[in-house]
Structure 1
Amino acid sequence: MLRHVFLTGPPGVGKTTLVQKACDALLSSGQAVEGFYTEEVREGGRRVGFDVVTVSGERDHLSRIRDIAGDSHSRREYTVGQYVVDLPSFERLALPLFTKVHHTLACLWARKTGPARRCLCLDEIGKMELFSQPFIKAVRMTLDCSSCTILGTIPIPKGKLLGLVEDVRTRSDVRVFTVSKENRNAILQDILSALQECLK
């Protein structure tokens, strides 16, 4: 049975844009959606990092390039290429989203009311986010939750494989769409159809 939908593809191909459009369509149809997007941060035309932005509009740092990341000598430094990951900031914004979804599901189950499934947007499950062990644990728990559908993005395999990403990619209840420059303008309806199947 299909329960989750993930997009993959090279950086910059449009995965986040598609996820945002899919979330907008779900919200317009009355489906409750929680979760976050990862957005580039640019200054003077130069990419200086990434922010985490929730579906409801809250924003905080995910990473910054080393020369503007600030003093990190007082804590362990997590880096991906030139970016220093702000793990406390990421966890402060992302982890409560899981708690909110699971709490809502528990309340709905107790009252036997409301939609059968909830949707959680995770854009993305990648190297930066996977420095967080609580995030990994929360994703695994949500993947196994029978009342929650994840709409997420994962990177294409490159170099050392990421354990959780490969687990997602090979699950029998996950549909993975590969986004390319050729199909990105036509694939949205297929994504929405898969999500509708998940959220029945």
Structure 2
Amino acid sequence: MTRHDGRRAGRRWAAAAVTVALGVDAALTGCAKTPPVPVPTPGAPSVSETASESASPSGSSTTATTGTPSTSETPSLAPVAKATGSLTLYSEASTKLAGTCRTASGAPTLAVADRSNEFFGTIDVTLVLNARKNAVTRLTIALGEDSDQVTRTLAYRAEPQAEGTSAKLTGSGSGFAVTGMLANTENGKASGPVPVTLKITCAGEW
């Protein structure tokens, strides 16, 4: 075969290849099918309508439950009055007692203290009266450590009343005075009664 004959055979092979390729493409194109389009059934809601209805709020409204306001009122706090006072034992112990007069746990209570006392360091006094404020129910005086490193607790109780103790109350309204003998405990050990004169003035109603 000459070179000229080879070129002619190559052109015939290329033309045949193109023809086959076009035939295959046409066959594949003919086999492709368009997917069917659903036809809506009369009376049936469309997908978009159903989604819209499900997303929209229900026609029935729900009433929000609100908390019922409480009818109970907060009880008013008992009035409190400022208090000042003085304490004398064998001699004057303090003239700088300060605190409050109030009703605590249903009982008139006078609580005063001197936290910078030159003899005992600290003095804490709690005087509890009866409901009529005309008698002492309980009196406690805590004395801090003195120069001899002794701490004392002086106490009186109306019931039961310890032997040798007493606490007489005078005054009313804003001013009270207590005189008597209080049981004495020194560093936790009982000692002899101590004479006490306590004066407390309440500034205002309580």
Normalised-by-shorter TM-score class? under 0.3
Greater RCO, CA 8 A, separation 6+: 1
Instruction: Pick the structure with more helix per residue.
Output: 1
Query: If the length of structure 2 is used for normalisation, what is the TM-score?
Result: 0.24
Higher-Rg member (1/2): 2
Give the alignment's TM-score, normalised by structure 1. 0.25
